[in-house]
């Protein structure tokens, strides 16, 4: 009987305090937040390159690994002469040093980059869970 | 400043003033909307700032015939959903469930001032699927009309009513268990 009453009870409607906001913020927070948001919004506008940079660095790392792997293990298949190899590696190092030092060598591809990439490619957390 | 005045400013080419009007009118509302999903004050603060950057960037695409309020909430809700998905992936990596992470955040939040039942209510909400969580929050706390939620979430009113009904019963059952 008691169980039945319990099931019938609409606690969400009856206890009106439940609709009240239990969270608080530090004093003066909203004024600070408004000032923060108003000031830098122009500089912070996300550019196309800003969005693509993490994926480009990820792709660059994959390409570098692939090229290095091909050079090390697949020289016969690629039919690269010794001369070509030095030419290529010189150019590669030059390009690497000039343009991508910060982007590749210092690119710390962390969990958040991988997560961004997975979301970008449309994979959901559920799909990963299923495949596991 | 009202939505009408903000739109008028924007139509007159005074984009910066219109944006500042949006910030003044919506910062607090958006903050509480986001906080109910993210629980943590610091995370909410960061996301609200990102949302305003998105609003500024998207302002040229705003169509004057649509409601400013639903347009802003739509951007905010999409950002919240993206954030929740990221949290879900992070939780997967750390072998935790996202709802456990959020429940822990509620327990550890120094800015949570509610009683035991309110704490359990907000934890129960974190256990709902994403879309149910959004409908429940907008309807139960903000008392929004289904038509408005429909514009924000791009979901039919019928589907929203069904989602809210499921969410409401799940939350109610969770709370009754602890009574």
pLDDT in tens, B75-124: 999 999 999 888 887 777 766 677 777 788 888 888 888 899 999 999 99
Q: Measured in whole angstroms, how far is the alpha carbon of residue B114 from the centre of its chain?
A: 19
Q: What are phi and psi of A125, to 5 degrees?
A: -60, -35
Taking the CA of residue A93 and the nearest CA in chain B, the distance in Å comes to: 35
pLDDT tens digits for range B8-56: 999 898 989 999 999 999 999 999 999 999 988 999 999 999 999 999 9
Are B114 and B122 in contact, with CB atoms under 8 Å apart? yes
**Cβ contacts (< 8 Å) between B175 and chain A: which residues?**
11-12
Two tokens at B22?
């949006």
Closest CA to A23 of B145, B42, B172, B171: B42
Taking only the tens place, the pLDDT of each residue in B137-153 is 999 999 999 999 999 99
Q: Using an 8 Å CB-CB cutoff, list chain B residues near A111.
A: 89-90, 93
Can you give the pLDDT at residue A4? 46
pLDDT for the residue A123? 73
Structural element, H or E, at residue B23: helix B15-38
B150-176 residue pLDDT tens: 999 999 999 999 999 999 999 999 999
Q: Give A42's pLDDT tier (boundaries 50, 70, 90).
A: low
Q: What six digits make up the tokens of A123?
A: 């994979």
* Residues B116-133, mean pLDDT to the nearest whole number: 92
Band the pLDDT of A84: cuts 50, 70, 90. Answer: low
Weakest-pLDDT range from A23-27, A47-51, B123-127, B134-138: A47-51
Range in A51-60, B64-73, B153-162 with the lowest mean pLDDT:
A51-60
H helix runs in chain A, sequence order? 2-8, 11-14, 29-38, 48-73, 75-78, 82-99, 111-120, 125-131
Taking the CB of residue B96, how many other CB atoms lie within 10 A of it?
A: 12
With residue A58 as reference, give the H or E element that holds it.
helix A48-73
pLDDT band at A96 (very low <50, low <70, confident <90, very high): very low
Is pLDDT above 90 for A72? Answer: no
- The set of residues, in sequence order, having a beta carbon less than 8 Å from that of B14 and lying 6+ positions away, is none
Nearest CA in chain A to B95: A129
- Give phi and psi for B160, each to the nearest 5: -65, -40
CA pair distance A89, B151, nearest whole angstrom: 56
Of all residues in chain A, the one with the smallest CA distance to B174 is A11
**Residue B128, pLDDT score:** 92
CA distance B98 to B85: 9
Q: Which of A6, A33, A125 sits opposite B92 (nearest CB)?
A: A125
pTM > 0.95: yes or no: no
Partners of B54 on chain A (C-beta within 8 Å) are 46
Which residue, B154, B17, B145, is CA-closest to B78? B154
Question: A62 vs chain B: nearest CA distance in angstroms?
Answer: 22
* Averaged pLDDT, A35-57: 67
């Amino acid at each position: 009987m008691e169980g039945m009453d319990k099931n019938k009870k609409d606690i969400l409607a009856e206890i009106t305090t439940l609709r009240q906001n239990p969270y608080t913020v530090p004093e003066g927070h909203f004024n600070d937040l408004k000032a923060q948001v108003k000031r830098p919004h122009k500089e912070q506008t996300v550019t196309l390159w800003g969005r693509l940079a993490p994926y480009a660095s990820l792709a660059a790392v994959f390409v570098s690994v692939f090229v290095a792997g091909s050079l090390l293990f697949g020289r016969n298949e690629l039919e690269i002469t010794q001369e070509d190899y030095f030419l290529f590696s010189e150019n590669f190092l030059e390009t690497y040093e000039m343009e991508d030092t910060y982007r590749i060598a210092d690119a710390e591809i962390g969990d958040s980059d991988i997560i961004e990439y997975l979301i970008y490619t449309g994979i959901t957390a559920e799909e990963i869970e299923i495949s596991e | 400043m009202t939505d009408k005045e903000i739109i008028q400013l924007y139509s007159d080419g005074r984009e910066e003033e219109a944006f500042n009007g949006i910030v003044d009118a919506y910062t607090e509302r958006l903050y509480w909307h986001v906080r109910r999903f993210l629980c943590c004050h610091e995370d909410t603060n960061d996301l609200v700032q990102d949302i305003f950057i998105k609003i500024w960037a998207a302002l040229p695409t705003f169509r004057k015939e649509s409601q400013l309020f639903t347009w802003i909430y739509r951007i905010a809700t999409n950002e919240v959903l993206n954030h929740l998905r990221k949290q879900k992936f992070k939780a997967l990596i750390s072998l935790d469930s996202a709802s456990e992470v959020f429940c822990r955040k509620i327990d550890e939040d120094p800015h949570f001032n509610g009683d035991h039942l309110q704490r359990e209510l907000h934890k129960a909400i974190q256990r709902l699927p994403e879309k149910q969580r959004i409908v429940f929050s907008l309807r139960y706390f903000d008392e929004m009309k289904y038509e408005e939620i429909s514009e924000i979430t791009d979901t039919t009113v019928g589907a929203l009513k069904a989602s809210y009904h499921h969410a409401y019963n799940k939350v109610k059952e969770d709370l009754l268990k602890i009574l």
